[in-house]
A and B are shown apart, each in its own frame.
Chain A
Amino acid sequence: MAEDAELRTDVLVIGAGGAGLYAAIEAARQGAQVLLLDRSLIGRGGATVMAQMTVAVALGTEQPDDPAFHLRDTLAAGRGLCDPALARLLCEEGVEVIQEMDAWKTGWARHADGRIRQAHAPGHDRPRCVYVDFLSTGPAVSRTLRTQAQRQGGIRRMGEMLVTDLVLADGRVQGAVALDLAHGRAVRIAAGATIIATGGLTRLYRRNSASANMAGDGYALALRAGATLIDMEFVQFFPIGHLAPRLIGMDPIMWDPFRYKLGGRLLNSEREEFTDRYGAPPEGGRYVVTRDLATYAITKEVAAGRGSPAGGAWLSFEHVPEAELRANFGPVIDRLAANGIDLTKTAIEVAPIAHYHMGGIRVDTRMATDLPGLFAAGEAVGGANGANRLSGNAITEALAFGRVAGRQASALAKQEGIAWTDPRAREALALAGRAGAVRPGFNPAAMFAALQATMAEEVGAFRTATGLARAATRIAALAAELGEAPPGAPLPHDLARADWFDLRAGLLVARAVVLAATARTESRGAHQREDHPGLDAAWTSNQTVTLAGGRLALGQQPVAAAA
């Protein structure tokens, strides 16, 4: 009986980053009642708000451009594994959503004559990346969408809701069970259609550029419900994440805009440029090397004993005059000074940091998963970016896929209506809300840190069969320690209980990554196997992961033909 559920909605959107907010706005515009949930506060958590700068879109304001050219670069970056239909959708729909965002007053940076400015990012054949300000594109995008979601009627927004399970009946997703973190209780949500927009999995790594709520929980929801994941082995490392000296109040990926503006020099311990030794074009003070190559080059130099003292590479702006640094990054230069860093006198240390996940939930071009009633959007989707994502494609993907998912979910909900079968939710309801046996000494926060250490050490930018096997063993041990139910009674803002659910999801998703990474005996894009160097044309296929009876199953499918 639908009356049993505490909340009812046509369209349930899980996650209020760029993809979820756009999906909610579009679904509501199509006439659906929408419930937009986030485990954090609305429009504050997730990855979008942390984006620093670039949003790739073929507007052609600097040079003539076309989505077909953007698509060509996206497919090239993906090293042969992109789903061309999804990549095309990103590039084409991207133009419309960025223009709509402009009409909503995002404040894209402009030339004096009114043209939107576009920066030239690595991997693109021409200037194609719009931005707001060098360090605040993400907050501006979030703010714009948040305002629009408030203006658009029909969207009930609710933060502090951690969705723990999807609820199925007759093979169809009928809603979800969530842990209301504010009150510490389980809540049933009946929905005509459900969209997962929870982002990726980069919090599974010790050093990451993600917010605290990006640990693959959406992938786990989809897997446990019976949907298929794809390309799980491809985790993008951002090559120049800040490493040393320690500084506070700065995003570790802050050096990207510096490189766009000022170039900078990436150096090894001998103070030599080195990325060209690994196949990158000579830098010559410009920012040209792609993310997978730079990550590979830095990791190799460190392994060869030519790393910086903290185990990364030097990034130097010492040759850039102070006036030029100030003209471009005045307020940031002050914040760096407060941390004791003077870029004219010292280089800083950088190293790869987990940044984005190319893999995710398998969908078609309607953002529909294999499961009736379930859609996905944004980074949670796998396939558009293949083995390596092009700079600037993440926000475009979030907004474009969000809009498509919102439209399609709205149509489905209107057609199918809301059903709810309470007995199906019973188990999930008990898990989220019931008091478990108290376990003295049980520390899920420490266990999560142990998982992050394992992923960083064994499943990072460089992988081997033996390291992946060690990771599988440690993950299994952590899963055994986790047990079948969270200990203790739920409390208001119970982070330990949230950690338990994060571990349940994160350990399952980590298993999926290890499984796919172990099977792929080649090196391609973001997946580099030390024991299988070089790309193997026989591996030009996508791997899928499904869950049945508690066991993960790996599948293989040919790369989709060009759309």
Chain B
Amino acid sequence: MSIAILSIHRGGPGEAPRRDVFEVPFEAGQSVLDGLRWVREHTDPGLAMRYACLNANACKECMMRLDGAVIYACTARLEAREMRLDPLPNKPLLRDLVTAIAPPDERPPDAA
């Protein structure tokens, strides 16, 4: 069985960035989001990522970087090779692959 290798940025603001590498069973017709959800269900449920609509390219929440380029994880094809996933640049990092992308007036306040 061929595999996809996901090399994923881990950690939050102020932490020394590190990478975790996960091997995911590869099947043609999967998205990068499918691979990330596989990782959460089988290896590490603590992986932080953002998504809502799953596969419809409707919610636009699963934006991240694949090998440096900004993508939607639900429309990027999973491939049987090493794929580097990182949070969006120039957005405040929350944790792992999640950044603060909501308009500032639609976020929970920093000091409640």
Which residues of A are interface residues toward B (Cβ below 8 A)?
Answer: 6-7, 40-42, 44-46, 49-50, 138-139, 157-161, 180-183, 185, 187, 211-213, 245-252, 339, 442-446, 449, 491-496, 499
In the complex, B8 has a CB within 8 A of chain A: no
**Chain A residues positioned under 8 Å from B55 (CB to CB):** 248-252
Q: How far is the CB of A506 from chain B (nearest CB, A)?
A: 15
**Chain B residues positioned under 8 Å from A44 (CB to CB):** 52-53, 58-61
Interface contact A49-B41, CB-CB below 8 Å: no
Considering the chains assembled together, what is the distance between the CA atoms of A139 and B57 in angstroms?
Answer: 10
The total of interchain contacts (Cβ-Cβ below 8 angstroms) comes to: 134
Which of A181, A212, A445 neighbours the largest number of chain B CB atoms within 10 Å of its CB?
A445
**Chain B residues positioned under 8 Å from A49 (CB to CB):** 53, 58-59
In the complex, B7 has a CB within 8 A of chain A: no
Considering the chains assembled together, what is the distance between the CA atoms of A177 and B96 in angstroms?
Answer: 26
A-B contact pairs, 13 of them (CB 8 A): A41-B106, A42-B106, A44-B60, A50-B56, A160-B102, A182-B107, A183-B108, A185-B112, A250-B57, A251-B55, A492-B12, A493-B50, A493-B95
Q: Which residue of A lies closest to B74 (CB)?
A: A249
Q: Which residue of B lies closest to A251 (CB)?
A: B56
Considering the chains assembled together, what is the distance between the CA atoms of A493 and B11 in angstroms?
Answer: 11
Considering the chains assembled together, what is the distance between the CA atoms of A248 and B27 in angstroms?
Answer: 12
Considering the chains assembled together, what is the distance between the CA atoms of A49 and B57 in angstroms?
Answer: 10
A247-B94 contact given A446-B45, A495-B45, CB 8 Å threshold: no
Give the contacts of B74-102 with A (CB-CB under 8 A).
Answer: 74-75, 77, 94-96, 98, 100-102
Interface contact A157-B95, CB-CB below 8 Å: no
Considering the chains assembled together, what is the distance between the CA atoms of A247 and B60 in angstroms?
Answer: 18
- 7 A-B pairs closest in CB distance: A246-B29, A249-B75, A251-B56, A45-B52, A6-B112, A248-B31, A445-B40
Q: Which residue of B lies closest to A180 (CB)?
A: B108
Interface contact A249-B57, CB-CB below 8 Å: yes
Interface contact B108-A187, CB-CB below 8 Å: yes
Instruction: Out of B45, B46, B75, B95, name the residue touching A248 (CB < 8 Å).
Output: B75
How many chain B residues touch A (CB < 8 A): the figure is: 45
In the complex, B66 has a CB within 8 A of chain A: no
Interface contact B41-A443, CB-CB below 8 Å: yes
Q: How far is the CB of A205 from chain B (nearest CB, A)?
A: 13
Interface contact B41-A187, CB-CB below 8 Å: no
Considering the chains assembled together, what is the distance between the CA atoms of A108 and B102 in angstroms?
Answer: 28
In the complex, B28 has a CB within 8 A of chain A: yes
Bitwise interface map of B from 23 to 59 toward A, beta carbon under 8 Å scored 1, else 0: 0000111110010010011100111111111111111
Instruction: Out of B37, B57, B95, B106, name the residue touching A159 (CB < 8 Å).
Output: B106
**Chain B residues positioned under 8 Å from A212 (CB to CB):** 51-54
**Chain A residues positioned under 8 Å from B102 (CB to CB):** 41-42, 159-160
Interface contact A492-B95, CB-CB below 8 Å: yes
**Chain B residues positioned under 8 Å from A187 (CB to CB):** 108, 112
Interface contact A493-B94, CB-CB below 8 Å: yes
A248-B56 contact given A41-B101, A446-B41, CB 8 Å threshold: no
In the complex, B20 has a CB within 8 A of chain A: no
Instruction: Out of A45, A160, A161, A449, name the residue touching B59 (CB < 8 Å).
Output: A45
A157-B105 contact given A139-B58, A187-B112, A491-B95, CB 8 Å threshold: yes
